[in-house]
Amino acid sequence: MSSIGAKLDAPTILDSARIETAWTIADVLVPETDDRPSLKTADPEARWLAVAFAARRDSEHELAVLLDILRGREQSEVEAMLRSLRVEKRYLFDTISSVIAGAYYMTPQVRALIGYPGQEQRPAPLELAADELSDEIFEGAMAYGGAFRAPSDFVV
């Protein structure tokens, strides 16, 4: 598992009410389906949600205001407001949607479902590059008939 870059020791804007609101937003943007969990299911302790919000501390005031506006509303109402936000305040929509989706795709359960190992060190074996260039694909590059243009004063 990679380390976390965001500073988690600073106070977070997330309290229990805002977490519930964030989960409702997630139910609109990245909902549970037959083959995918909800964010609340994948991240029941809101650990990854906290990481995602901390990574965008630059916008925490705007995000806190938005969460408070959406607080306690029905999912259908939240969805309508998010659709309007996407049209009227695209920057804020992009920020909240990337934080929610960012949290969702950081959860180990979802990563396993989409086949994403996350950030990991994978130094290439020395022979891999040569192996990749040892078949007919590279022969196509070597058979290329074009060349650079040589100016009249060009000499090798």
Partner 1 sequence: MSVSQTNTDVVDVLVIGAGPSGAVVAQHMATNGFSVTCLEQSRWFNNSEFPGDKVDWELLSQQQWHHEPNIRGFDTDYPTATGDSDVHPVMIGGVGGSTLFYGGHWHRFLPSDFRMHSLDGIAEDWPISYKDLAPFYDKVDRAIGVAGVEGDPMYPPFEVPMPPHPIGKVGRIAARGMNKLGWHWWPSANAIASQRHGELAQCVRWGTCETGCPQGAKASFDITHWPSAIKNGARLLTNSRVHKITVDAQGRADGALYFDARGVEHHQKARFVVLAANGIGTPRLLKLSAHPGAPDGLANSSGLVGKRLMLHPNAEVTGVYDEPLESWLGPAGQAIHSLEFYETDLSRGFAGGAKWQVMPTGGPLRALSLYDRDDFDTQWGPSIHRRMDETFGRSLQWGINSQDLPEETNTVTLDADLVDSNGIPAPRIHYRLSDNTRALLRYNVDRAVEAHQAAGAVATMPTDLWPDQPGHLLGTAKMGDDAATSVVDRWNISHDVPNLAIVDGSVMPTSGAVNPTSTITALALRAAENLVATAKNRKVAQ
Residues found near partner 1 in the complex (CB under 8 A): 1-6, 28-31, 33, 35-36, 51-52, 54-56, 58-59, 83, 86, 94, 97-99, 101-102, 105-106, 114-116, 118-119, 121-124, 126, 128-130, 132-133, 137-138, 140-142, 144-156
CB of 64 to partner 1, least distance (A): 16
Between 20 and 79, CB nearer to partner 1: 79
* 74/78 Cα distance (integer angstroms): 6
Query: Do 14 and 56 contact (CB within 8 A), yes or no?
Result: no
Query: Do 68 and 20 contact (CB within 8 A), yes or no?
Result: no
Between 16 and 121, CB nearer to partner 1: 121
Between 11 and 149, CB nearer to partner 1: 149
Between 65 and 133, CB nearer to partner 1: 133
Rounded to a whole number of angstroms, the distance between the first and last alpha carbons of the chain is 51
Query: Do 22 and 67 contact (CB within 8 A), yes or no?
Result: yes
* 11/102 Cα distance (integer angstroms): 20
